[in-house]
Structure 1
């Protein structure tokens, strides 16, 4: 074939571009340069805040996300020992986990504390010393000596004659949310009548969002569970890795189901419309070329592509077939005319249909959400590529037989003609839709909870709840950040905040909190405690020594040498589970659980202390961007209105914009009736409705002389869109479900209103009826 015309030259050039892109993608895939992102929170914008606070938040997320928590339930001690040893061996033999470490070596920890016990005092003892109530202090010590469960040695009396350290240690034990928990072999262990449970923390070696790593760890866990099941040992797992893995699998299944459902649906649809399966091949070629180029451009621009982007990309087939269905339906009525001759007069309407959809997606790129920007870029590039492939490919093929479908769907054209002929009916219908819609939208509610982003498995939620409740791990996502110039200032601020939180805990404002300062007093506090001990009069020490038949001089020596004893600091505390609450020397964290009054906690903030609530802040951010998206939606409608007015004239504004405007109103009205709460994803779905709805109106505006053909073609377009995006309404992820449901309703209403209310334009018309039919 000679390159004698523009379509041949453009086709050859387009084919070369696609081959080059495909080759580059294959090369990148073979060299592992294709990056698929599965972290659902990568879709979210980064909140503008203090850079240091942002780093702290990332640090906390990393500390929590890079761990998997395991509880094993055993019937007896023998099974517990066996399960613990087996876990150690399996972890040691695998590269999937960091070496298993005890949560706390109790003996070593107590020994470290005792070596630095000089300034470690129980809160009650500190109060006695501050009030100079030395008799109450020594009475506590005497009672302790007489306690039958207290082991007393000569060494203990020599180093701690007032027995202050045992009371401090007992105070630490009472801070546990569940006093029944014991540390055995360094692991938290809980013994009931029929069950013994042990808690383990496994640290990951890779990102919890790595798809291959998720699959490998899932296989490892299943094998380990099967081994323990032989000994009647049950396992309970939780952690970000498991929830992320479920989200990945859920997304992959939805990609498969959406793709399969869309393909089967469109297969039946094209057979109904054209009595041939050839459109499936041509649309597969168009969609494949679109997705190929879209994948390459999106990955190049963003350095990665999110799995969620591919979920929406799988639905591109529901949009790009609009153009081809319209062309093939028209071509079927003029079989003896050359395909490009038919294309020429309809090309403006096809091009405007593409442009209106692209404008809708273009406005999505103005959102601060990386996920929506990716989806918008993917969709714009994919649709443009698929559109170009379609107009270069379809005119070369023979016309198909759409007459049976046109006759079957003749009622659509008849209904359109009837409504257009009865103006009173049309105007009253429009007024009724507006009144009912405005009245219903008033009751529409929103839900911006960020937790709706990710799908949740009920079994995983139950396992997570069991682990956290069993071992007092009910950890909220809120925490205080304390920052100062020096470590001493941080410690002092932490002690002050701990006291305030303790008071609020007594008032029921907060259920509990975790802080380093609960276990380790600040160095300043320890020094002050030592000074208080050195202030005890010798007369009181003599009376105490005589009561216990101790050598008073030994007690005096202990008091004198207190100032030379080592002070406990965090460097000796690095193996404790709470050590991560100090990211650096000038910053500490306090974790909060069970907040009942947020305002009371917010009132504790100052220039050094900040309350971080990631979930609440992100949900608030979602709300802000939903509101911004609503304004953006209005701007998109205004932009489309101006563009259409410029191209078609002012008289075309109402016929082209009215149907999609009514469709949006009706969509939200139905959601209000059904009690469905809208969110950002619902609003984003309306951008797709705008593009598609205006397309329908444009095609009807141009197709006044063949309403039956246009009605049949647009019905197929609507159904294909429903099969693509409408299937998203069945997603288990609430956000995707909302998007899909919005598109589902919006597309149906757009088609109905464009069919009944869009008048034909005498100026912009497709004239083919003077050509002979087959």
Structure 2
């Protein structure tokens, strides 16, 4: 290429960066559209879309709302202070609703809005009593209730009190009204200490992952805790977990990224002894980050905070290209030519990008974004290095050439292992991996919440006697009545299992809304009860005979209770999360949420109950997502193997008999990582395998330069510096509190150190014009900027 064409490409790339800066400014005019939802790492389960819909339905109340429990010596005053502070946030638009006073959740008496439905609703005990003797055993309790000072008798509408008996069986909230506040008494849950909490229930105006909502709520609660140090405040809600993850990601971006950059700058400053070189080295990093940020936002619309944390490690790879160019220019002096380095730089870029493309091919949206950001950043840094850095004329310190020579001599292997010994060691490592390597697909890999917050969440759920809906039976049927019939049969099977010792509880729509046939049978039972037993009750109570006639007259027009009517009632709101409604297949679906004991026996019993009923499936969300992670881990393993095979073929085509020298560092480092994990009992997971992809890309880069420029001290210095900077970038991720980043960083820490250790042992020993002595044939020029 002519110098004119080269300059034209350089100006074209500068124009692209200018457009990126303009476009990025437009996209960021309202702030960075960041996302902290860790579940974005998981793909949708296309094999079970209805299960995905059920998961979303059950999690919606947990996502859109939050709950606070406050215990303080001056409970009323403290609750008022917190409630007023949160209401100010509601006025600002952060919250859509806040309930904390007794009047906020006041409803009419259920007996007022149940209307005529009550005659179709009977508990199993009442059904058995009426079937046994027509209801004679119910007369005495009803008589006591009619004259009880604490009861609310209804001689005409409900002389036997069947409504109260039925309501007592429905799930109710432990939250009561006391001192004008929503209150929860811990002793009701057998907590043993008789603590009393005020309850504040908030509904978010925005997504729980919205950074503004997280920050506003966190600041409000922090200020309250500082003003009331003796108060105990318990939190429950997705917004708190998402906020903790976002704050942690920000801390890691600032600490890991800053520490990595500082370490890189100190090392580069020591080797090159020039602040101007430091400034030059940051130019590709800035250009690559600008290019990556712009294109990633354009493609995905939002930027995940994990992408930023992962992108901080881009420093370690993008600087490789600069280091190879600057080391060669500092050592070669006037003999420096970009043309000699260009094939190696290009192969290095391709090998790294191939590793990221393999990551981008996984079906995980969050990982695709991380891979795209890194690949775009590397391409942007490479173009800047190739098109602009050779133009810069910088004075090279003589120390760099002397240091390169001394480092070359210091790192020469004193002996080389025989091939049979190396093969034996490799066989031993393979045996260790095959016999001892374990895997971990736990969902905890995606959980950034600190243990204290998880314990606090568990305590709140225990106090509220609630379950987040992680286990349920998914039930389908042709229409609503068929669904209720199926739910009713499942309720009976669950009741039988519980009576047999299965330690669970459940929530089902059929508990409140029986099937039409059951409602008809219940109405027939009530007619029988309103015969002779009603006459005896009226006579013993001394009520007029007309009371019995008025009561029987109410049975003439009794509407059937359906799901739509029930879910519209105040009590029915508790069951709305159980109703999926019409499915894409045209039928209807609902869930029965399971709470209580876990374990293999419980799971087997619930799966057996589900298998006995058509169109019923038992779902354990935690187990299912863990299975999904396992499938992705196996897919990623296949991509790692495929990337290795593809690069092996490409390298064999270019390097022929010397190809093994390029492949041993990355492939050997991968084997060392797996063997050390096996010996240390560290399980392999999805994110460890993503780290192996990065080791593969960076290791191939080192192997390529090790063969292309085998006897050049400048190449070995650049390999050492690039490996060290990559260790700083990726190895520091092992300090992350986010399990996903921790395992990725730990893999890279071991793998990259292994790459650096293996490179000298496979370096070609042939000599010729490309020798160490040639590096000192001519002193470096005061000004270096030649393209040729």
Q: Same fold (TM over 0.5)?
A: yes
SS at match of 1:157: coil
Shift of the alpha carbon at 1:738? 0.3
The residue number in structure 2 matching 1:137 is 138
The residue number in structure 2 matching 1:686 is 692
The residue number in structure 2 matching 1:593 is 595
Shift of the alpha carbon at 1:290? 0.8
Worse-superposed segment, 459-468 or 206-215: 459-468
Classify 1:210/1:152 alpha carbon distance in 2 versus 1 (closer, same or farther; 3 Å): closer
Classify 1:437/1:276 alpha carbon distance in 2 versus 1 (closer, same or farther; 3 Å): farther
Shift of the alpha carbon at 1:673? 2.2
Worse-superposed segment, 99-108 or 56-65: 99-108
The residue number in structure 1 matching 2:199 is 199
**Length, aligned pairs only:** 752
User: What is the alpha-carbon distance in structure 1 between the residues aligned to residue 769 and residue 481 of structure 2?
Assistant: 79
Worse-superposed segment, 347-356 or 297-306: 297-306
Contact 2:519 2:560 in 1 (8 A): yes
What per-residue deviation string (whole Å, max 9, x for no partner) do you get for residues 634-662 of structure 1? Answer: 1111100111111222x123222122221
Shift of the alpha carbon at 1:314? 1.3
Contact 2:412 2:760 in 1 (8 A): no
What per-residue deviation string (whole Å, max 9, x for no partner) do you get for residues 38-73 of structure 1? Answer: 211112111113444433333333332111111122
User: What is the alpha-carbon distance in structure 2 between the residues aligned to residue 143 and residue 763 of structure 1?
Assistant: 111
Contact 1:448 1:620 in 2 (8 A): yes
Classify 1:127/1:677 alpha carbon distance in 2 versus 1 (closer, same or farther; 3 Å): same
The residue number in structure 2 matching 1:376 is 371
User: What is the alpha-carbon distance in structure 1 between the residues aligned to residue 319 and residue 377 of structure 2?
Assistant: 12
User: What is the alpha-carbon distance in structure 1 between the residues aligned to residue 412 and residue 140 of structure 2?
Assistant: 100
Classify 1:505/1:94 alpha carbon distance in 2 versus 1 (closer, same or farther; 3 Å): farther
Shift of the alpha carbon at 1:322? 1.8
> Aligned ranges for residues 331-480 of structure 1 at < 5 Å?
331-337=329-335, 339=336, 342-396=337-391, 397-398=393-394, 399-401=396-398, 402-415=400-413, 418-419=414-415, 422-424=416-418, 427-480=420-473
Worse-superposed segment, 406-415 or 469-478: 406-415
Classify 1:8/1:505 alpha carbon distance in 2 versus 1 (closer, same or farther; 3 Å): same
Worse-superposed segment, 299-308 or 64-73: 299-308
User: What is the alpha-carbon distance in structure 1 between the residues aligned to residue 330 and residue 82 of structure 2?
Assistant: 73
SS at match of 1:376: helix
What per-residue deviation string (whole Å, max 9, x for no partner) do you get for residues 554-573 of structure 1? Answer: 32542343232455555355
The residue number in structure 1 matching 2:565 is 571
User: What is the alpha-carbon distance in structure 1 between the residues aligned to residue 72 and residue 107 of structure 2?
Assistant: 22
Gaps of 5+ in 1: none
The residue number in structure 2 matching 1:282 is 280
Worse-superposed segment, 616-625 or 506-515: 506-515
The residue number in structure 2 matching 1:47 is 45
User: What is the alpha-carbon distance in structure 2 between the residues aligned to residue 260 and residue 334 of structure 1?
Assistant: 32
Classify 1:465/1:103 alpha carbon distance in 2 versus 1 (closer, same or farther; 3 Å): farther
Matched, 1:501 2:507: no
- Which of the numbers 268, 271, 281 marks the counterpart of 1:270? 268
Contact 1:141 1:164 in 2 (8 A): no
Shift of the alpha carbon at 1:539? 4.0
Gaps of 5+ in 2: 188-192, 583-587, 781-788
Worse-superposed segment, 761-770 or 598-607: 761-770
Contact 1:76 1:195 in 2 (8 A): no
TM-score normalized by structure 2?
Answer: 0.88
Contact 2:156 2:550 in 1 (8 A): no
Aligned CA-pair RMSD: 3.0
Shift of the alpha carbon at 1:534? 1.1
SS at match of 1:30: coil
SS at match of 1:610: strand
Contact 1:70 1:200 in 2 (8 A): yes
User: What is the alpha-carbon distance in structure 2 between the residues aligned to residue 631 and residue 267 of structure 1?
Assistant: 37
Worse-superposed segment, 375-384 or 594-603: 594-603
User: What is the alpha-carbon distance in structure 2 between the residues aligned to residue 54 and residue 763 of structure 1?
Assistant: 64
The residue number in structure 2 matching 1:67 is 65
Contact 1:36 1:306 in 2 (8 A): yes
SS at match of 2:28: helix
SS at match of 1:705: coil
Shift of the alpha carbon at 1:630? 1.0
User: What is the alpha-carbon distance in structure 2 between the residues aligned to residue 94 and residue 395 of structure 1?
Assistant: 54
The residue number in structure 1 matching 2:785 is none
